[in-house]
Amino acid sequence: MMNQGAKKTGYVSQPAGTDPRSTEAWALSEASRRLVVGAKTEDGGKSLRDALILNQRLWTIFQTAMAEPDCPLPTEIRDNVLALSIMMDRQILQRLGDLDGSKLQPILDINRCVAEGLAQKPQVPEAAMAQSVQAVPAHPQPHPAQAAVGGARMAVNVSA
């Protein structure tokens, strides 16, 4: 059942877990849900525009996290997320220009794929897990860049 805070902000649901990966997966799913609803709403494009702007803000957060000098993720993953975000920028700006809800599929597909990757638990070799357990402070604070992709490995072909 949805709580009052979620209802006031327009959310149908809230993140299932408290870890950054599930929160980010939820955010991408929620942004996609709003895009679909916005495309079907007859309000002169206002709902679609709002949903596109929300999606743009979410991807800007990912971009910013990847560009941080102390981002702990491997360069390959950061580069892939940045390439995805550039693709999203282009798609979102095109849709903001024409407000054509029938052309949202590329945005929805990328959001879905990234959300699915974030929803999966990363597989860590046992030796690495043992080392990280010893090195983890009592109350770790997740780094925003680490939260942005949660260690998911993505391959992107931006030439298409």
pLDDT single digits (tens) 92-150: 999 999 999 999 999 999 999 999 998 887 665 444 444 444 443 443 333 333 334 44
pLDDT band at residue 21 under the 50/70/90 scheme: confident
Position 29: which residue type?
A: S
Q: Find out whether 116 and 22 touch, Cβ atoms under 8 Å.
A: no
For the CA atoms of 46, 7, 27, 44, the dihedral, rounded to the nearest 10 degrees, stands at -10
Q: Provide the pLDDT for residue 139.
A: 38
What percentage of the chain carries pLDDT values higher than 70? 65
Q: What is the mean pLDDT of the chain?
A: 77
pLDDT band at residue 15 under the 50/70/90 scheme: low
What percentage of the chain carries pLDDT values higher than 90? 57
78-96 mean pLDDT: 96
**How is 109-142 classified by DSSP, letter by letter?**
HHHHHHHHHHHSPPP--HHHHHHHHHH--SS---
Q: Which residue has the higher pLDDT, 141 or 73?
A: 73
**List of residues 6+ apart from 52 with CB closer than 8 A:** 35, 38, 92, 95, 96
Tell me the Ramachandran region of residue 152: left when phi exceeds 0, alpha when psi lies from -120 to 50, beta otherwise: beta
Q: Provide the pLDDT for residue 155.
A: 40
Coil, helix or strand at residue 48: helix
Coil, helix or strand at residue 79: helix
